[in-house]
Amino acid sequence: MPNLTKLFASVAICAMTAGIAQADDAKAPAAAADAAKSETVAKPRTDLSADTVVATVNGQDITLGMMQTVRDGLPAQYQQLPDDKLFQGVLEQLIQQTALAQLEEKRITQRDKIALEVQKRAYLSGAMLNYTADKAVTDEAVQKAYDAKYAKAEPTKEYHAAHIIVKTKEEAEKIKKEIDNGADFAELAKKNSTDGAAANGGDLGWFKLDAMVKPFADEVAGMKDGEVAGPIQTQYGWHVVKLLGTKMVDAPKLADVRKKLEGDIRQEAVQKRVKAVVGEAKIDKMTDGIDPSVLKDQSILGSN
């Protein structure tokens, strides 16, 4: 059974893309038609609600609330489309979806019923967890999390370094010797280093030691500004490193870490909710005698 949500979304996107192309092709005659009808355009309605019917398919309603739900589930780039094109694209998608659903309802299988029930439970549980997470994120909670993590935090040291990483110790030793003899570190990095920082002369930017792997971090911690060290072996290869500078950094401001703190609060709230709900639920498992490999047996779901 395909993922219906993804399928519907992809169809909606295709419908909107096609609609845009058709609108562009017919721009000139459409503009003329619009000009001719400009005097009879209906006034904007003020009585709209989620239950407002915008179309029917064989007597089955399509509502404004349905359209908004589809729109909210689209990727960001499609939500940026002009209002008229987005409206028509979403409406066309729902018309197609409704017509197809009516056809499928005539031959709905046990597999379909099970899939719909699973999707319903997934949606409802996700909605509950989103509600839980949203409710947990308050200004007071964020401030409390910030104070707990940063209020007594001492200034920390950050390092600015560049490196050259190669596959063998011999290569690293050769490069280190060239640098000791006056070769330019950045040029050698661009020529020899095998990672993404090579294009910038091996520059790794500013970082704290805990952001780096242990052997590399330990070496950097004992270096002086301008010093070049190596070879240093990590799981990524052999490094030659140059310490470009160091600085002491105060604890970040609340605004700078707010999103991270909010994410932590949301995650903690969700974990607590799941644990509490499952802990309070009366759960009876009847799995004795069931071979786990039965999940591979598609005949359990019946025919398509």
35-51 confidence digits (pLDDT tens): 555 455 678 888 999 99
- pLDDT for 169 equals 94
Give the separation between CA 82 and CA 240, rounded to whole angstroms.
Answer: 53
Which tops the pLDDT comparison, 17 or 225? 225
Is the pLDDT at 2 greater than 50, yes or no? Answer: no
Long-range contacts, 165-168 (Cβ 8 Å, 24+): 165/193, 165/194, 165/195, 165/236, 165/237, 165/238, 165/239, 166/192, 166/193, 166/194, 166/237, 166/238, 167/194, 167/237, 167/238, 168/238
Mean pLDDT (the chain, rounded): 86
Going from the C-alpha of 211 to that of each of 49, 70, 207, 253, 255, the distances in angstroms are 51, 41, 7, 20, 22
Question: What digits encode the pLDDT tens for the residues 233-275?
Answer: 999 999 999 999 999 988 888 999 999 999 999 999 999 999 9
pLDDT for the residue numbered 176: 94
Percentage, residues of the chain above pLDDT 70: 86
**pLDDT at residue number 79:** 85
pLDDT digits (tens, 9 = 90+) for 128-142: 999 999 999 999 999
pLDDT of amino acid 303? 67
What is the rounded average pLDDT of the residues 281-287? 92
Please check the confidence at residue 27 and state whether its pLDDT lies above 50: no
d(CA 260, CA 171): 40
pLDDT of residue 22: 52
CB–CB of 240/172 below 8 Å? yes
Average pLDDT over residues 151-170: 91
Residue 63 phi, psi dihedral angles, 5° rounding: -110, 165
* Dist CA 183 CA 153 (whole Å): 41
The pLDDT of residue 41: 66
- State which H helix or E strand residue 154 sits in: none
Distance from the first to the final alpha carbon of the chain: 8
- In this predicted model, what pLDDT tens digit does every residue of 204-234 receive, in sequence order? 999 999 889 989 999 999 999 999 998 999 9
pLDDT band with cut points at 50, 70 and 90 for residue 34: low
pLDDT digits (tens, 9 = 90+) for 109-130: 888 899 999 999 999 999 999 9
Q: What is the 3-state secondary structure (H, E, C) of 178-229?
A: HHHCCCCHHHHHHHHCCCHHHHHCCEEEEECHHHCCHHHHHHHHCCCCCCEE
pLDDT above 80 for 185:
yes
Q: Which residue has the higher pLDDT, 154 or 122?
A: 122
52-75 average pLDDT score: 93
Average pLDDT in the 153-174 region? 92
pLDDT of residue 85: 92
Determine the Cα–Cα distance for residues 211 and 275; give it in Å rounded to an integer: 31
